[in-house]
Amino acid sequence: MSRDPNELVEPVRQRLETLRADAAREGIDFIITYTMRTDAEQHALFAQGRKGLNEVNRLRTYAGLAPIKQSENRVVTKLFKSVHQFGCAFDIAIVKDGKPDWADTASYEKLGELGESIGLRWGGRFKFRDLCHFEYTGGLAIAQLEKGERPTA
């Protein structure tokens, strides 16, 4: 599991830095919780809530992720392939009093607006809302990313 912004493709990393500066001006602090994701990590996450706990934890261990408990074995992604696997997405957590705050919907909404204003696609607009997710593909589809194409601007 990577939190390294340097693993993002350049146009995504630049937008992340702009988002961080814009958020700071609004008094919003956040941390990066996910950037680049390996195929094994994505497959393990996709299995959650769809497979039994033993199989999920086998896949998580193979991917280098910690095992989870039965209560955590719920769907966390709708996608077998994610733009995270191509360095085109990052997830964040709002920070309040030095700790992640997953419940501050107003700050996530503001951050979503800020991200959209600089060309990021915000997961808060997805059918399966993902307030913490931002991505930029420059209009490229997953099939193009799989072929090695990456956004350039």
Per-residue pLDDT of 70-94, as tens digits, reads: 999 999 998 899 999 999 999 999 9
In single-letter form, the type of residue at position 119 comes to G
Total tally of structural domains belonging to the chain: 2
pLDDT given for residue 128 in this prediction: 86
> Are residue 131 and residue 63 in the same domain, yes or no?
no
Shared domain check, 147 and 117: yes
What's the Rg (C-alpha) of the chain? 16
* 104/71 same-domain check: no
pLDDT (tens digit, 9 = 90+) per residue, 38-64?
999 999 999 999 999 999 999 999 999
Work out the average pLDDT over 105-128. Answer: 96
Tally the C-alpha atoms within 13 A of residue 28's C-alpha that lie toward its C-beta.
23
Is 105 in the same domain as 50? no
92, 135: one domain:
yes
pLDDT at 1: 78
